[in-house]
Amino acid sequence: MSDLGKAERGPRSVFLVEDEVMIRMMVSDMLEELGYHVAAEAGDIDEAVRLVQCTDFDIAILDVNVNGKVISPVAEAVQLRKRPFVFATGYGVQGLPEKFRDRPALQKPFQMDTLARMIEDTLRGVAA
């Protein structure tokens, strides 16, 4: 495991948005095993937008399609807070909202090492 997940100030915190409960639980477990703190989880767009405003987190992982709706409002809210985010999608880059196609994306299904590398690379890019 990398030391990046456990920064000097403590574990990095993650905001997770995923509508499929079992996938959300699995990703949350992966994150905790990697040494991250899951600051908040959401399973729908409205809840996610609300939580973005009141949750302290270092990075967000956003499912692209949440209950049939595109994640754009949540991505915009995260961007307004100047927090980095990674998309998780089963649709490839073409499934990303057009204005966010330059953002990193995890291709579902993904493994823990891929998740760790994507988060570390994204956080490193912000710190650089």
Burial 37-55 (b: 16+ CB within 10 A, else e): ebbbbbbebeebbebbeeb
- Residue 84: pLDDT over 60: yes
Contact 120, 113 (CB under 8 A): no
- Domain-located, residue 40: yes
- Distance between CA atoms of residues 74 and 40, nearest Å: 13
Residue 14, pLDDT > 70, answer yes
The answer to whether position 57 is within a domain reads yes
pLDDT at residue 2 greater than cutoff 50: no
4 part of a folded domain: no
How confident is residue 1, by pLDDT bands cut at 50, 70 and 90? very low
Q: Could you list the residue range(s) of the whole structural domain that residue 71 is in? A: 14-127
Does any domain span residue 8?
no
Could you tell me if residue 18 is inside a domain? yes
Q: Is residue 2 part of a domain?
A: no
This prediction has a pTM of 0.89
Looking at residue 111, which CATH number applies to its domain?
A: 3.40.50.2300
How many distinct structural domains can be found in the chain?
Answer: 1
Higher pLDDT, 19 or 2: 19
pLDDT, position 94: 86
Q: Which residues contact 66 (CB under 8 A, 6 or more apart)?
A: 17, 18, 19, 43, 44, 45, 48, 74
